[in-house]
Amino acid sequence: MLSHYLLHTITSQLALTSLSYSIRYILDAREMPILSMLEKIRCQVMNMIYTKQHEAKHKWTGTICPKVKKKLDRHIEIAASCMVYPAGGGIFSVTDKYGTNIVDINVRSCDCS
């Protein structure tokens, strides 16, 4: 479930970034004949992809991108204050500073909401 969220978030961010660059490339090349314009846009997009990959390779030190790592670290810090007690059959009692909640892993439900 977390991997689906991460993949969706990363894909959305890449699509938005690519779209904004593409619009700028179109505006830069709009006065050219169509084939020349498409070739220029293709080259610019290839250059952008290479540059982003090169930046990411040197910027990331781990297997998770920095923005997602920051979110994950925040959730780990919150989870560290929780005490989990198994009740059997996929049911757990989770206690934190706000109180106690019952979590059923099998049906993915919690009485906290």
Phi then psi for residue 110, to 5 deg, are: -145, 145
Local structure of residue 32 (DSSP, 8 states): S
What is the model's pLDDT at position 19? 58
What is the model's pLDDT at position 2? 43
What is the model's pLDDT at position 1? 44
What is the model's pLDDT at position 92? 94
What is the model's pLDDT at position 4? 46
- The CA distance from 19 to 59, in Å, is 23
Q: What is the pLDDT along the chain (113 residues), one digit of tens a residue?
A: 444 444 455 555 655 565 566 567 677 777 888 888 888 888 888 998 898 888 877 777 778 878 888 999 999 998 898 999 999 999 999 998 888 999 999 999 988 86
What is the model's pLDDT at position 98? 86
Number of Cβ within a 10 Å radius of residue 49? 13
What is the model's pLDDT at position 21? 60
Please tell me the pTM assigned to this model.
Answer: 0.43
Q: Is 104 left (phi over 0), alpha (psi -120 to 50) or beta?
A: beta
Q: Name every residue whose Cβ is closer than 8 Å to that of residue 31 and which is 6 or more positions away in sequence.
A: none
